[in-house]
Amino acid sequence: MGINNTNTAFRDLTREWQVLVRSPRAARALAEWAAVEPALAGLASLADLQAHRSNEILAALLRIGDDLALRAFLQAMLPGLVGVTRLGLDREWIGHGRAWRHPNELNAQLLELTWAWTARHAGNPPGWPASCLVGHLVHTITYEAKLDRRHRGHVTNFELVDHDRVGDASAERTGVVGAMQLVCDAVEAGALPLSYAQIIYSIRIRRDGYQEWSDRTGRSVDALKQVCRRAEAKLVPFIEQAA
């Protein structure tokens, strides 16, 4: 899968940015910023940001910390986010049965993590903003990928259905029934909340994508993954009993 086909959200942000940097608002903001942040005085317009994204400029944008400055910081960091997505692809953390079903799911989570990181550091940037952010993103997704793999080791018997492969229809039906029964048993025993059961049924049994459910419910992909992990942990005793 080529990286150029995996970063739709990043391309959308770039198209938005190309319009924004030509606006009077961007010109006014840059003039105001340059008056208080000398590192930004060398930029003729915000369109020059990608070619001059030095450590000093990135730190200045975070120190300013308003919505447009943080959006400019995000735009400057998009190549770094693309690199993290490439890392996920190279390490095979993305795909069916993996921590992220599609690169778009990882992209969405990276953007969410980046916005949270910039909000946390607005007004008080770390010494090396680009390195700190990319390091934070790599650490977070590496941890999630390892956690996902560890949980999958515990719930192998639950993951009985693969809708991306054509197999024996009878075996597939048996797998669905078995997985659904485990969920029902856990709900009836009071071990699994009904809301968890609905999400794990849709994502783990029906194989709906995280992003699809995020769009439907308004919950972040990261939050949905945490729900699935908590649900799977609650299912472990029922899986072991059925094994």
- Looking at the domain assignment, is residue 143 inside a domain? no
Instruction: Tell me the one-letter amino acid at 155.
Output: V
| Cα-based distances in Å from 204 to 98, 211, 215, 235 | 11, 13, 17, 12
Residues 175 and 101 in one domain: no
Name the token pair of 114: 């980046």
Alpha-carbon torsion, ordered 123, 127, 128, 130, to 10 deg = -20
Is residue 35 predicted with pLDDT exceeding 70?
yes
pLDDT band at 97 (very low <50, low <70, confident <90, very high): low
Q: How far apart are CA 34 and CA 60, in angstroms?
A: 9
The predicted-structure confidence for 54-94, as pLDDT tens digits, reads as follows 899 999 999 999 999 999 999 999 999 999 999 998 888 88
**Residue 161, pLDDT score:** 38
Enumerate long-range contacts of 86-95, CB under 8 Å, 24 or more apart: 86/3, 87/138, 87/141, 88/141, 88/145, 89/1, 89/3, 89/6, 91/145, 93/141, 93/145
Range of the domain at 94: 3-127
Instruction: Tell me the one-letter amino acid at 176.
Output: V
**Residue 208, pLDDT score:** 78
Name the token pair of 153: 């080791």
Model pTM score: 0.64
Residues 71 and 183 in one domain: no
Residues 206 and 111 in one domain: no
The predicted-structure confidence for 188-223, as pLDDT tens digits, reads as follows 787 777 777 778 777 777 777 888 878 877 778 877
Between 48 and 101, the higher pLDDT residue: 48
- Looking at the domain assignment, is residue 146 inside a domain? no
| Cα-based distances in Å from 196 to 154, 190, 235 | 18, 12, 11
Name the token pair of 134: 């990319």
Give the domain-ending residue among 80, 110, 127.
127
